[in-house]
């Protein structure tokens, strides 16, 4: 039996391969046979390149069914998929390419100029293009390949994907996820979330992160479920599609935006079975508003790029009730503990660092053995960097993070990275990026900085410089030049005081 994740997903395809597997918001229908043939052709293209075992395929393209097929083809061919946020600019891409050394890069035609320059100079031999209108050199080349392909035989611990998730200090780390990490999690969620015949998923998330690429996509595929495939989130479009679907997954911002739609009602959700939220804290207000407006109770779950899904509120009533403000119970097979600073196990209700173990927990960070060692305990538990507790009924509650991280609209923003860029701006002496509440994105970054003596700094100029270098979601929503920064007795910037000072900026 091959442990190739693709084989397990392929086995779940329905008998009738001519049934619709994906229906796009542009009115295109793809059958399961289309998925089978296209992934075979793309896998044959990849294998025709003579790539070494474990070769990485880095992809920075707009969301499309073909991009999804490229992911499945990479698994099918036995290579390692490396999805990259479409908002990343050249400095960010240069880092990922230098760190991961992909054998193949696939980018959008509009970025081919600068991406190919970075890739070729880093030693990548193949750069293809793919756009969201089904054109580009990747498909042109694949069109000549056979639509028959025997999936590569993989071992459970063979790499399937590398997902970059920045550390609180320094540069991004590549979380190495194996076929078994992903397959074990997909199978657990299929059962725990009661996927059933006839389920239809609205897929409105990006496919360069775990939520959209693994939790949503694997969920539908491993159940042989049709997907209504949106090229991006649009609240009105989701509302229009709800009566045709049964499952929706989103970050809290998506729920906040849907609640702002007058058409959201019990009636518009009458066909729906399950709403899942995660990637960032779901406010109790959103949880209760959703119940009142739709009659549905959102199922909140907790995961990480390093672990896929860790905990989940129950789906079936026999597993318990869904409780707002909690991320539910550790999933079957996941062990979770909360420990204090002295590495002692804490009793129920006590707040400490969340640590986990399980078949879903990643192997290591790519080519960073020291960083990997730092983030696992001596007895093999992964330190999530999240702070929380397990309450008297066994529900896990995340109350904060020990890692300096801002989660904005579901995207992670690492202050250390942004502060580095701000500090490089001429005339800046020091800076601090803090997260403050935001009604739409949940939390956004606000930058404060001090100028070198005698230098006049313009906050607008600093932001403009950042916009030219960094992905747009990382750009601080506000920037203030201050005479000084609050420090503790150790001279460390007191970000908690800054968060307090600016907490009402957007609310």
The entry of ligand MCA, ligand AMP, none that residue 410 binds, CB within 5 to 8 Å by partner kind: ligand MCA
Find, among 449, 445, 446, 414, the residue nearest to 430 by Cα: 449
User: Cβ of residue 92: shortest distance to ligand MCA, in angstroms?
Assistant: 14
By beta-carbon proximity to ligand AMP, the closer residue of 78 and 278 is 278
Start-to-end CA distance of the chain, whole Å, equals: 55
Q: Are 476 and 505 in contact (CB under 8 A)?
A: no
Residue number closest to ligand AMP, CB atom = 305
CA 88 from centroid of its chain's CA atoms:
14
CA distance 178 to 156: 7
CB of 226 to ligand MCA, least distance (A): 21
Quick one: what does residue 408 bind among ligand AMP, ligand MCA, none, with the CB cut-off 5 to 8 Å set by partner type? ligand MCA
Q: Which is nearer to ligand AMP, 206 or 278 (CB)?
A: 278
300 binds ligand AMP (CB under 6 A): yes
Cβ 313 vs Cβ 327: under 8 Å = yes
The one segment of 15-23, 117-125, 217-225, 406-414 that binds ligand MCA by CB under 6 A:
406-414
Q: Look-up: residue for tokens 């001279």? A: 491
408 binding ligand MCA? (CB under 6 A): yes
Spatial separation of the C-alpha atoms in residues 405 and 401, rounded to whole Å: 7
Distance CA 307, CA 385 (A): 13
Among 88, 233, 290, 382, binds ligand MCA (CB under 6 A): 233
Q: Which residue lies nearer to ligand AMP by CB, 221 or 276? A: 276
Edge-to-edge strands, sheet with 172-178 = 126-129, 104-107, 56-60, 80-83, 159-166, 172-178
Select the binding partner of residue 386 from ligand AMP, ligand MCA, none (C-beta < 5 to 8 A, by kind): ligand AMP
Helix (H) / strand (E) element for 479: namely: strand 478-481
Q: What is the CA radius of gyration of the chain?
A: 23
Q: Tell me, by CB under 6 A, how many residues bind ligand AMP.
A: 17
Considering beta carbons, is residue 136 or 278 the nearer one to ligand AMP?
278
Rounded-to-integer distance, Cα 505 and Cα 212, Å: 31
Asked whether 429 and 452 are in contact (CB, 8 A), the reply is yes
What is d(CA 371, CA 491) in angstroms, rounded to the nearest whole number?
Answer: 26
The alpha carbon of residue 395 and the mean position of all alpha carbons in its chain are separated, in whole angstroms, by 23
User: Is residue 215 within 8 Å of residue 168, measured between CB atoms?
Assistant: no
Calpha distance 418→415 (Å, rounded): 5
Residue 462 touches which of ligand AMP, ligand MCA, none (CB < 5 to 8 A by kind)? none
The mark string for 427-456 relative to ligand MCA (x by CB under 6 A, - otherwise) is --------------x--x------------
Neighbours of 158 (CB within 10 A): 19
Site string for ligand AMP, 361-400 (x = CB under 6 A): -----------------------x-x-----------x--
Over the window 160 to 199, marking each residue x when it contacts ligand AMP by CB under 6 A and - when it does not, the resulting string is -----x----------------------------------
Site string for ligand MCA, 180-219 (x = CB under 6 A): -------------------------xx--xxxx-------
Handedness of CA 397, 399, 402, 405 (dihedral sign): positive
* Distance, CA of 74 to CA of 158 (rounded, Å): 13
Minimum Å distance from CB 346 to ligand AMP? 19
Query: Does residue number 303 form part of the binding site for ligand AMP (CB under 6 A)?
Result: yes
List of residues contacting ligand MCA (CB under 6 A): 205-206, 209-212, 233, 251, 253, 278-279, 303-305, 408-411, 441, 444, 472-473
Rule CB under 6 A: which residues touch ligand AMP? 165, 278-281, 300, 302-305, 327, 384, 386, 398, 401, 407, 412
């Amino acid at each position: 039996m091959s442990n190739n994740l693709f084989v397990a997903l392929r086995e779940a395809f329905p008998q009738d391969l001519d049934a619709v597997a994906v229906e796009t918001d542009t009115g295109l229908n793809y059958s399961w046979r289309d998925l089978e043939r296209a992934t075979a052709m793309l896998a044959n293209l990849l294998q025709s390149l003579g790539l070494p075992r474990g070769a990485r395929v880095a992809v920075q393209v707009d969301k499309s069914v073909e991009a999804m097929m490229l992911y499945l083809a990479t698994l099918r061919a036995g290579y390692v998929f490396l999805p990259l946020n479409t908002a990343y600019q050249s400095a960010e891409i240069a880092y990922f390419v230098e760190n991961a050394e992909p054998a193949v890069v696939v980018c959008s035609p509009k970025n081919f100029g600068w991406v190919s320059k970075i890739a070729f100079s880093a030693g990548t031999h193949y750069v293809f293009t793919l756009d969201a209108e089904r054109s580009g050199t990747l498909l042109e080349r694949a069109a000549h390949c056979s639509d028959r392909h025997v999936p590569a035989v993989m071992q459970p611990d063979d790499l399937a994907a590398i997902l970059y998730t920045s550390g609180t200090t320094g540069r991004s780390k590549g979380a190495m996820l194996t076929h078994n990490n992903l397959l074990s999690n997909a199978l657990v969620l299929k059962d725990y979330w009661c996927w059933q015949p006839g389920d239809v998923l609205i897929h409105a998330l990006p496919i360069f992160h775990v939520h959209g690429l693994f939790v949503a996509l694997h969920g539908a595929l491993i159940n042989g479920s049709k997907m209504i495939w949106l090229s991006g989130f649009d609240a009105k479009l989701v509302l229009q599609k709800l009566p045709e679907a049964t499952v929706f997954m989103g970050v809290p911002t998506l729920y906040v935006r849907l609640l702002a739609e007058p058409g959201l009602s019990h009636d518009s959700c009458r066909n729906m079975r399950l709403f899942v939220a995660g990637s960032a804290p779901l406010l109790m207000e959103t949880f209760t508003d959703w119940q009142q407006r739709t009659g549905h109770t959102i199922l909140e779950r907790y995961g990480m790029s390093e672990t896929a899904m860790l905990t989940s509120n129950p789906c079936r009533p026999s597993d318990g009730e869904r409780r707002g403000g909690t991320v539910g119970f550790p999933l079957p097979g996941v062990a979770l503990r909360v420990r204090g600073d002295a590495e002692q196990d804490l009793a129920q209700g006590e707040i400490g660092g969340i640590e986990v173990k399980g078949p879903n927990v990643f192997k290591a960070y790519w080519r960073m053995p020291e960083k990997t060692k730092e983030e696992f305990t001596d007895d093999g538990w992964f330190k999530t960097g999240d702070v929380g507790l397990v309450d008297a009924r066994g529900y896990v509650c995340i109350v904060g993070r020990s890692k300096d991280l801002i989660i904005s609209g579901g995207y992670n923003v690492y202050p250390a990275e942004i502060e580095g860029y701000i500090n490089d701006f001429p005339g800046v002496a020091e800076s601090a990026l803090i997260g403050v509440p935001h009604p739409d994105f949940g939390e956004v970054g606000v930058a404060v900085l001090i100028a070198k003596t005698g230098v006049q700094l313009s906050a607008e100029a600093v932001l403009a410089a950042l916009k030219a270098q960094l992905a747009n979601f990382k750009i601080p929503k506000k920037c203030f030049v201050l005479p000084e920064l609050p420090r503790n007795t150790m001279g460390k910037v007191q970000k908690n005081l800054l968060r307090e000072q600016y907490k009402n900026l957007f609310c």
